Structure 1
């Protein structure tokens, strides 16, 4: 089955090269040369796109701002995975991109086969459950709907990236157990992250911002110093 990828990138040569490289591997790449064009395509044809490749430096906008706008769109567009591409090697930009909602980050120049591996990793998600038999994990005021891949706090939907949802499920399904970064990465299959960098911590921070009453004093996702994270079994408040 062909999967459709939207690339928002002003380098037409790069886009053409990647389109040719990805095609034999089952990916059809659609190119948008500007942020405006890319966001318009997403809103017009968002459902067919399995993933967005987003350049950090665009002629009409900052890629970080585009990522923010994408995450503010209505469901299901806001949950489309995003892999950010940039010629800037500053680790701050990488962390900031992940904080805003990107699922992965690849600095330029890169090998096309590395991009392919990361795209496959981000897309390697479990299939959606049938609605009739969908399971909902409930922790006090927090509901995690596995079938709809949706999270609600006090009945209000919380926006998460695909990776962040899978990370939350991995924690919730092992509530009460301390999980290291390595165990979390292993639990969320296909995640192309180094367990020794800050990527997992960044996503945990985003999760806390979404589901904690006070992210600075988390009561749902607790840090165990030197060991990892634990998801609280009892969440009455």
Structure 2
């Protein structure tokens, strides 16, 4: 099946360059240039991944991300394009539910690799449905489903992978740098990406979560010697 990618940006040059690279990878690209046309495409649920510019005419990429996450198809993978140095936009975008972000100016090939990575995580090859459990949380790798206190929880691709990693390595402490490497596959990047995803996981799992913060060291699933907030844990 050919994957369909939405590229939403008000700059036609950006759209053209990104389209060329994604089509080289065998993907079908749908282009939009503003918020209303992008919202219309998203509402039809005819795409497998969306690349959204944060600064396009409203509703912007962050507003559209929020709309997707609160809509009927909340697990649609989303990558945001943000301006270089605009850390607040990146954090707000991740809090809104983005799976990944790329800063402008960017390498089109890097974006294409990020798209491929997120697609692999969101649409994995069929596998044995391995089950990971942590107290009141049950995660099934093959079907990519999660139950918290017996109730299904909708997670994005990155949230799922982060939870799976923590459940597979319970009571081991990982710094944000290590999680960025192990889960995202990045050798460098904004550490707030991990912080935001941890907060989102805690919120979605509710009282069933056992994600603990080990002061000054990082995060672990299920440790008693921890504090609740990660003030700069790395």
TM tier, shorter chain? Answer: 0.7 to 0.9
Cα distance, 1:195 vs structure 2: 5.7
SS in 2 for 1:59: coil
The two structures, once aligned, show a CA RMSD in angstroms of: 2.6
Tell me: CA distance 1:109–1:195, structure 2 relative to 1, closer, same or farther (3 Å). closer
Quick one: distance in 1 between partners of 2:20 and 2:71? 30
Cα distance, 1:167 vs structure 2: 0.5
What is the TM-score normalised by the length of structure 1?
Answer: 0.81
Quick one: distance in 2 between partners of 1:221 and 1:136? 18
Q: Which moved more, 1:51-60 or 1:137-146?
A: 137-146
Quick one: distance in 1 between partners of 2:136 and 2:114? 35
SS in 1 for 2:48: strand
- Displaced runs of 4 or more, over 4 A: none
1:194 maps to 188
Of 120, 123, 142, 2:119 maps to 123
Cα deviation, 1:6-33, whole Å, max 9, x if unaligned, reads: 1122223321222123212222211122
Cα distance, 1:124 vs structure 2: 3.6
Of 49, 52, 55, 1:54 maps to 52
- Does 2:208 match 1:210? no
Task: Tell whether the 8 Å contact from 1:104 to 1:192 is kept in structure 2 after alignment.
Answer: no
Quick one: distance in 1 between partners of 2:150 and 2:99? 25
Gaps of 5+ in 2: 225-234
- Does 2:145 match 1:147? no
2:212 maps to 222
Alignment of 1:57-206 (within 5 A): 57-74=55-72, 77-87=73-83, 89-125=85-121, 127-129=124-126, 133-188=128-183, 191-192=185-186, 194=188, 197-206=191-200
Gaps of 5+ in 1: none
What is the TM-score normalised by the length of structure 2?
Answer: 0.82
